[in-house]
Structure formats: C-alpha cells, structure tokens
Structure 1
Amino acid sequence: MGDVLAGIHSTWEFDTDSVLIRFERGIRTPKLFHVLAERRIPYEALSTVELAPGGKRGTVVLRMVPREGADPLLEAADGQLKEASDPYRLVLPAERELLADYYATELRSALGPEAAEPAERHLVEAPAPPLNFKAYDGKASFDGKAVTFRWFWTGASSAKWRAGDQSFNVDELEGLEWRSPEVFNGHLRLRRRSSDGSPAPGGDGVETAADQDPAAVVFGLGYGLVYESLPFAASVLAALRAAEPAMALETAGPGPHHHRAARTEGMERADPADIAERIRHLGELHEAGLLTDDEFSAKKADLLAEL
C-alpha cells in the first residue's frame, strides 16, 4: 500500500506485507503505548478489519482484529485490556471516515486464506528482554532464558520466604497467567511442567493463592502496572512458545532442571551486599518465629552459595 494514516495516539504505515504502528508519547497517550513504541503487524496475523463509530462524538475507529494466538501480547492479556489501551485501534476524526473505509477495504483484501483460523505460531514480535518490574511482594526479571523472582521482605508471605527466591528456565514452563493489576487479585503466575516435561496435571482443582505460590508474584496499588507487567508476560510467553518445538523433539531422559537447581544457572554472581541484607531479613523472620532453626540455616546456606 505504501501510505500513512495518522490518528489519535498512533500512526499506521502500510507496507506490501505488513502495517507498522508507531505510537505517540503524548501526555494523554496510554503508557502501554509508550512502552511498545512501535509494532509491525504482518497481514497474515490478522483475522478481520472493522470500522465503527468511536466512543467519543465525532470520531471513528479503524480496528484490526488479530488471529487467535498470533500476538503474544494479546494472548497474555486474555481480553483484559481496556479499550483505550488496545494497540490495534486507530481513532480518527469522523471527517476521515471515507479514507478509513478505503484502508479497511485494502486491509481486508490483503488477508490470507487462513485469516479465520488460529495461528500455529506467534506472528507478531513480543517486547524484547531483558525486562523487569516490581510487584508488591517481589521483583520479577526475565533475561530471555529464565524468569527470576526475588522476594521483598516487606511484602512476601512467609511461604515465599521459606521457599526462597525462585528462578525458572523457559523450558520448565507450560504457560502463564496474567491477571490485570486493575482488577482484584492481580498477579502473574507461571505454569510449570511436571518433572518429565509434560504439562503439569490439574490436581484437585484447588489452586494455591498467588500470595502463597512461589511461582507467582502479586500486584497491588502501584505495583505490577499494566505497561510494565503485560509486556513482561508477553515476552515470557513468546519465549516459551518458541521453545516448544525443541521440547517436542527431546527424547526420553532427564527432564527440565528443578527450579532450585536452575537458580544458579545462567545468572550473574550475586552482590555480596545484597546477600548480607537478605540474610539479615532472614534473621528477623527467624527471631519472629516464622522460620525454624533448620529452615533458617538451610536458606542462609543457599544465599551464601550464590556468592
């Protein structure tokens, strides 16, 4: 197409096989758009294109609808994004409706025969690691190969302190759950595979609360914000989906490393001052009776081993 369509908060640049969305960094632009900056959407990632009146008087909305499973960002969001933060919406003044209709028609003509089918792989790139954000009970980091949770003594539950800081290799994961911080009980939970590499069983259907689960971090007021935690979740999801073919080709043998063993693999040497501070916090928990003598000694040894 080779044309540009400028709207409110973003501009769409049409190419022969994709549309490049450039997001503005204005004060009223959703912060998620600031983080995304720009995204290239291949036409093969689209399911359909819609044109409808905008939410505000005097506007129209041109919206691309991606195929199921084509975009890791929307897959992670799972329908929880507010309309204003939908990166596939272009809001235009109503006087541009004819122009918007023209581009909608052109986009529809570019859709392939598989547009109505779920995508077999991600077709839109996720935000690139390294990424990190602060949750209420810990700091989450992702370097492209492993997700690490480091607990805050001011917010983490005693169950998480007892389990210790966690690190999960991508090939240990079966999936993840992102629950928006804008709703009650927002969290990011990692779904681990069983020891033989197969998806973990559902068990009795009773799930551990996120604040007690060492494979989850919880959000809260000012923590795990959408523009921080959702790109993080999308990046992790994209990495584990990319790892699935390799997992399928593995022959019988040792399964993925346990998360405690993985804690020391692929990570930089810990800061001695940080280790000392965390040991001090462990001592406070021990003195408060939240850790037994054996638990305190074991965790202290784990921390010293990181030096």
Structure 2
Amino acid sequence: MCRMGDVLAGNHAAWEFDSDSVLIRFARGMRTPRLWHALGERRIPLEALSGVDVSAAAGAMGRRDTVVLRAVPRTGADPLMEAAAGQLKEVCDPYRLVLPGDRAPQAAAFADAVRERLAPGRDEPADRFLVEVPPPPLQLKAYDARLGFDGSAVTFHWSRTGASSAKWRAGDQRFALADLSGVEWASPDRPGGGYLRLRLRDTAADPAPPDHDLAAAVFGTGYGAVHESLPFAAAVLAALRERAPVAAVPRARASDDRLTHLSELHSTGLLTDAEYATLRARFAAGA
C-alpha cells in the first residue's frame, strides 16, 4: 500500500506521492537527460493526469530486470508536453520512471494509489494548464537567430552567418503575443534538424520554409538543443493560454458543439493534429 509521503526512487529521478500531486525530483548526473537537468523538479497535480501504468522492460541482455512506471498527462494540462507534441525520445520523457525489477510491487502500489485519486474528467482536455511551466532560458540561441521572450513578445535577432538572405534583408523581428495563435516546435533531434515557429493570427497562407519564415528559427548541431528550446516554446505557449484561455469541453454539450470546440483547441495550437484526430473520432462515434 502506498501512502502520502512515500518516495519511489528510480534511475535519475524520484517520485513522491502526495494527496493531490506527484512531486518528481530529477537527479543530476552524467547519464541524466539534459532536459531533466533543466527541469530540476516538477509537481504534477493529479488532476493533470489521465492515467498511470506499470510495465516490464528488457535489460541489456534481454532479461526483464527493470520495470517502468509511466504517468500519462491529460491533453492540454502540461505546456511542456503540449509543445513537445509526442516528439520526445522515450529516455527523455519526464513522466517515465525506470526502476529495478525487484521494485515492481512498490511501483504497482504507487500506480494504484495514483489511480484511486484521478479526477472523473481525466479523459477530457484540460481547460487550462495545470502544471507549472518550466523556467525557460532568457535567450535561446538557434542556428540562424537569437530569440528572446519577455512575457509579452518574442524577438528574433538574426545571425549574420546563419540567417538566410531573406531573413537578413527583412531585419530583426518582434511578435507580440496578441499577434500569435500558437507555437510549433520541431525537435532538433529529428532527421534534418528542427525549428521553432510562431503561428500568426489572420494568416491564411501556408508558412514559408523555416529558413525563410520570419516567424521561425532554425536549429542545428549545437543550436536549439531540446533542454533549451522546448522549455522556451512551452513558456510562450503558456503565456498564450493565459492571454486567451479556451474553455473545456463539457460532457453535457451536444456532439456538434464538442466537435466545434475541438476545432477551436486545434486551431489555437492547444491540440496536436494526432490528438485532434483521435478526439474527433471518439466524439463523432459517440454522437
């Protein structure tokens, strides 16, 4: 049986169970993901979770000598995971704790205790961010720009050596939150590199490629690393949500209203394409 205050220590992190939250403390070390170093610790309210599961994992020699405890955040509850949009490598997932195989009973008890306290509406998108945004770097150095965010606007200062001629000719850019509808983060770890793009309101045309888009910065080797660029993107996304909150999808609303609302969440960048498609199919089936 898991009680309040119980701590489950695993590889590079420890989870502490509380009556209304799970406190995750990330260890510092050579093998700890740099994103976890940047996060330090995070308190995850139980209302921000949709589920938790325990599974066995094969070790280096194929033996099932480890167990994985993973919490599943609700859609729209965590700005970091919303910005990541499923692009984080498994080893960097801050909701995943790897434990020695002999800790399986404790992991199962921990999961059961969390499940007992999950909110009834956990399968619905959250109407606001429930997990605090991680502190972003004051400036983000991309391959073609240096980005800044002061809480009200995002600035792009182009690099003379990295920026395309189109960006350099246009000059530095400043985008107020009022002019934005969302943030798109593409992991620098993906093939071909990544980027951070601001989605602008009242723009019907498809955006230009990131290296020519004046509202985008391109990542590259040594530029825009996950532990720096993802918290930056999450901070901008959280500020946008506070400026223009979107109502939750009530259970009692008619199917067509719920689908309309899902479209609103998707258009403002609060649901990824995959999440939107999954929820749309679910609501349409229940019409």
* TM-score when normalising by structure 1: 0.75
Which residue matches 1:80?
Answer: 87
Matched letter for residue 55 of structure 2: A
* Structure 2: distance between partners of 1:186 and 1:7: 31
* Structure 2: distance between partners of 1:7 and 1:81: 20
SS of the equivalent of 2:211 reads helix
Note the C-alpha offset of 1:169. Answer: 1.4
Structure 1 segment 51-70 matched on structure 2, within 5 A: 51-56=54-59, 57=63, 58-70=65-77
Structure 2 residue aligned with 1:187, among 163, 181, 195? Answer: 195
Pair 1:218 & 2:218 matched: yes
Residues 21-74 of structure 1 deviation map (CA, whole Å, 9 limit, x = unaligned) = 000011000000000000010000000101001253410001000111111101
Which residue matches 2:158?
Answer: 151
* Structure 2: distance between partners of 1:10 and 1:185: 28
Which residue matches 1:229?
Answer: 229
Matched letter for residue 159 of structure 1: A
* Structure 2: distance between partners of 1:145 and 1:174: 13
SS of the equivalent of 1:221 reads coil
* Structure 2: distance between partners of 1:143 and 1:22: 27
Identity of matched residues, % = 62
Note the C-alpha offset of 1:146. Answer: 1.3
Report the structure number with the largest CA radius of gyration.
1
Matched letter for residue 19 of structure 2: T
Which residue matches 1:49?
Answer: 52
Number of residue pairs aligned between Structure 1 and Structure 2:
238
* Structure 2: distance between partners of 1:99 and 1:217: 45
Which residue matches 2:30?
Answer: 27
RMSD after superposition: 1.4
Which residue matches 2:263?
Answer: none
* TM-score when normalising by structure 2: 0.80
Please tell me whether the aligned partners of residues 129 and 143 of structure 1 are also in contact (alpha carbons under 8 angstroms). Answer: no
Pair 1:116 & 2:123 matched: yes
Please tell me whether the aligned partners of residues 52 and 111 of structure 2 are also in contact (alpha carbons under 8 angstroms). Answer: yes
Structure 1 runs (4+) deviating above 6 angstroms are none
Note the C-alpha offset of 1:130. Answer: 5.7
SS of the equivalent of 1:212 reads coil
Note the C-alpha offset of 1:185. Answer: 4.0
Note the C-alpha offset of 1:129. Answer: 4.8
Larger mean Cα displacement after TM superposition, 138-147 or 65-74: 138-147
Larger mean Cα displacement after TM superposition, 77-86 or 112-121: 112-121
Matched letter for residue 176 of structure 1: V
Which residue matches 1:96?
Answer: 103
